[in-house]
Every structure is written in C-alpha cells, then in structure tokens.
Chain A
C-alpha cells in the first residue's frame, strides 16, 4: 500500500488462507480495493517446478488464471471506488449498554474479548477499585499496541488497562506491574504464524509486596498474582490492540499454551547469581518486569550428574536456531552448576553459546533462519554474514552470547531445569513508574 500511495501500481500475492487478513488490512489502511492475488497453496517447501505450475493455475479466490489476475491488477482501469478509498472513524465507548450479568458474559464471549475462561465483569465499581492501585489518572495514555506489522496501532489509557485487569481477576496492588507490561510496547498476542507467546519476568521487591510465588510450582497455577498478572497481560493485549481473532488478527498456526498466562518471578533470595534486572542495569531494590517473545519449545533437564555437559549440548542443539533459549533453573540446579565451576550467569551463558553448534547445512535449512536471519546475513550483519559463507559441514555457533538468558526460580524440591525458546529484546520496564 505504501507503493500505491507513492504512485506505483502494485499487486500483493498471498496464500489463500490469508485472504481474510489481506482484505482486512487493506480496509484498515483506507484502500479496500488494493489488488490482491492468491496462489493455490502455501509456497513453503514447494519445488521450482511446483511453483511454476502455481503460476499456470487459477487464483483460488477469483477462479481466474493467476497471472491474468496479476496483469489486470497492474493495468486494468480504476473504478470510482479505487480512486476514492475509504475513510471512517471508529469509536469504542467507555461503557457498554446495561444488561443482565448472563447476557453481558455472552456478549464478551461473542465479541472475542475473553480467553474463553470465565472473566470478572468490569463494573464501574470494580474498575474504580482497580484504579486505586496506581497514582496515575484514568485518562492518561499508557501506550499503543498492534498484533503485527501492517496492522494499525491502537492506543489505550490507564482506565482501559484497569478494565482488562479486572476481567483477569487481578487485584489493585498488581496494577503497577500490569501497567508496566501494557507500556512495554510488546503484545502478548502476536499474530505471527509461528505462534509466539510472550513470557514476562518480575524482579525486585514488588514480588514479595504482592505475594508472587517464586518457590514450589513457580511456573504453574499456584499463585493468585502470578496467574492473574499473566492473564491480564494477555487480555489487555488482545483487547487494546484491536483483537486477536483467528483468521483475522491472529494467524498462529498451532497457537500457544503459554498465551493463557506466563508470568514468573525470579527467586532472587535463593539464587547464587545476580538477578536478571541487575544484569540489565537496574538496582536490586528496583522493581521491574521483563518480556520475552517466544514459547515455541520447552525442554527439560534435571541435575548436574556426570554427563550433564552432553545432555545440555543435546538440548541446545535441539533448539530452534532462530530462537535462543531462556534457561529457567531451580536454585538447586543453579548451585549445582556453581559447584561445577560456572560461578556466574555469564559463565553459563558463555558455555551454552560455545557449545550450541550445528552444521551450516542444518542451520540454514530452516524456514526461520532463511526468512528472518538470512536477510541480515545478506545485509552484512555479523555473525550471520560469515555463517552464510560457511561450508555445509562447518559447525556454526547457533546463538550469540547476548541471545541466551538465565533466570532462577523454583522451590528446591528437585534440581530441575527448563529450556524455553524465548527472545529478550532489551525490554525491562520499571514498575516504580506505574505505582
């Protein structure tokens, strides 16, 4: 659409499953008649011969020859609608029409405003009580979010965040954490076809103030604050960004369980290493929340027995090379590594970066290194440019040191590890700002 507005006729080609999204994005950009064409099927994994055959077949949407559709899109006469585009304003009211509790619950489900678990209806009284958790005025703009590129950003206020916090069942004292997440600019409902989720990590004194769990069951449904903060982050993301509806504003092929609720607190008191937020320039007395985009894979390890290095190498090699691991360790596992000479998180990260290796053939034979890393390599960004020059059997480091992260949490009932695909993008936000 940027090309059309600059005076260059354009046709965008998509797989047919994206028809709804393509039309919707065109509408929301004020150009509903944007010329689109559709190949018969997704092109991923198809041979050159198969792709050539696609060009000779019909567009499955228009039922006309694909190349004819494309050529006419570039040359055909414009209609009045093409020349005019479409303008409109949408508003979202502050309050909904009064109704019974049962019918309001049905309305929220029908409009895809929930995660399909029961919600708390955001009455005026409940939202006012939630707002007592912050000193910020209800009409202050917190930020803006969108599910993916191509979509428009939606804006939201402190009150709108509080509304979603009520729906998730959160308490007013959690609101500064939830506001910090909302202000992060990172959606917990990314529309990526790869089904990203967003995992959040809380550090600092607020963990204890609001009673978060970083002991037994730290990653599970065993604490009110952990569970409802994570859920609020998901609900506010979908509702404040303009939706997360399959086939329209959500295209993750498999979806992701982490998207229900994935907020953890670091067990700073029992960790032998410095807390995550201190690693990233904050003081230990600061309260922060950090976000990690990912959740594609989870692997498990236990203990540091004689063959721990081989097991760790196997797990690292099994990671997706595009998405580096977040290592989540029980304090027992962390102390076991200290006894093996890894006295700091940095030493563990360096060990992982050094030992996570794949042949260049395997590294590049991957849809996401091809799609997301190869362009960087072609643009000369290191180490990817050098990776691209490697011989097929050369062993490449899968991750840069700065891509690997370590967090300590858990209740010391066993020496457990988790390795979760999750990317940290320097997104650690002060919670103090939102008190």
Chain B
C-alpha cells in the first residue's frame, strides 16, 4: 500500500462574508432621478449616452443624468474608478437608482 503523506493547505485565510440586503425598490421611476454611471472603460461614455437617449425616447418621465468618477488621482488595478467617494456621495444624496456600466 502507498505511503500516505500529510501536507499543508496552501491557501490563505478568506474573510467572513456578511449578508447585505438590497435597497428598497420604488414601484415606479416616473419623475425619479436615475444616475447613469460611466465606469470609464473604453466606450462606456458612448454606451451611457445611448442609454440616456433611450430613456428620453421611451421613458421621458424618468430623469437621467450621466455621472463619472472624478475625484481619484491615480489608478491601480486594486482600486476601481467606481469606488470614487465623491461620485458615490452624489448618487446617494439624490439618486433614486443607478445603472452602472460597462464592466467590460
């Protein structure tokens, strides 16, 4: 019979995952403000502009505003433009919803 070996597990230690609930939804978006978040990947600005036009044509009662991260001063792969605190604060202040894109 082959000898059995005891070896170490090579993985690190993951953090505990804590449950988070989704935000309450409104029944209708009529008269509400939806932020269209340009996540800055190539062509996202054009995509979000097309989405803004789609809303204007199909759901004119929904207000939309394109928003981009603008307060970060450097990029690293371990950070995301979408984490921009100033942009998130603006959306939290008066946004009734947000569409983020496009994550490639």
CB distance from B17 to the nearest CB of A (A): 5
Q: A44-B43, A74-B97 are in contact. Are A113 and B11 (CB under 8 A)?
A: yes
Residues A276-317 near B (CB distance < 8 A): 293
B76–A10 touching, CB < 8 Å: no
Within the complex, which residue of A13, A95, A379 is in contact with B99, where a contact is CB–CB below 8 Å?
A: A13
Q: A43-B102, A67-B58 are in contact. Are A121 and B24 (CB under 8 A)?
A: no
Residues of A within 8 A of B26 (CB): 9, 74-75
Residues of A within 8 A of B68 (CB): 375, 378
Residues A51-104 near B (CB distance < 8 A): 51-52, 54-55, 67, 70-71, 74-78, 82-96, 98-102, 104
B5–A101 touching, CB < 8 Å: yes
Secondary structure of the A contact surface, majority rule:
mixed
Within the complex, which residue of B2, B13, B27, B46 is in contact with A75, where a contact is CB–CB below 8 Å?
A: B27
Residues of A within 8 A of B19 (CB): 30-31, 84-87
B103–A13 touching, CB < 8 Å: yes
CB distance from A249 to the nearest CB of B (A): 12
CB distance from A262 to the nearest CB of B (A): 17
B76–A425 touching, CB < 8 Å: yes
Within the complex, which residue of B14, B40, B100 is in contact with A152, where a contact is CB–CB below 8 Å?
A: B14
Residues of B within 8 A of A44 (CB): 41-43, 104
B9–A92 touching, CB < 8 Å: yes
A376–B74 touching, CB < 8 Å: yes
Q: Which of A155-163, A335-343, A395-403 contacts B (4 or more CB under 8 A)?
A: A155-163
B interface, size bucket: 35 or more
CB distance from B98 to the nearest CB of A (A): 5
CB distance from B54 to the nearest CB of A (A): 5
CA of A93 to CA of B13, assembled, Å: 9
A3–B16 touching, CB < 8 Å: no
Answer yes or no: A215 CB below 8 A from chain B CBs: no
User: Interface readout for B64-99 with A: 1 if CB under 8 Å, 0 if not?
Assistant: 000011111111111111010000100110011111
Residues B35-70 near A (CB distance < 8 A): 40-44, 46-47, 49-51, 53-54, 58-59, 68-70
Residue in A75, A78, A93 with the greatest tally of chain B CB atoms within 10 Å: A75
A residues with CB within 8 A of B: 1-15, 17-18, 22, 27-31, 33-35, 39, 42-46, 48, 51-52, 54-55, 67, 70-71, 74-78, 82-96, 98-102, 104, 108, 113, 121-124, 127, 144-146, 148-150, 152-157, 159-160, 163-164, 166-167, 187, 190-193, 196, 235, 239-242, 251, 293, 367, 370-376, 378-379, 381, 425
B residues with CB within 8 A of A: 2-29, 34, 40-44, 46-47, 49-51, 53-54, 58-59, 68-81, 83, 88, 91-92, 95-104
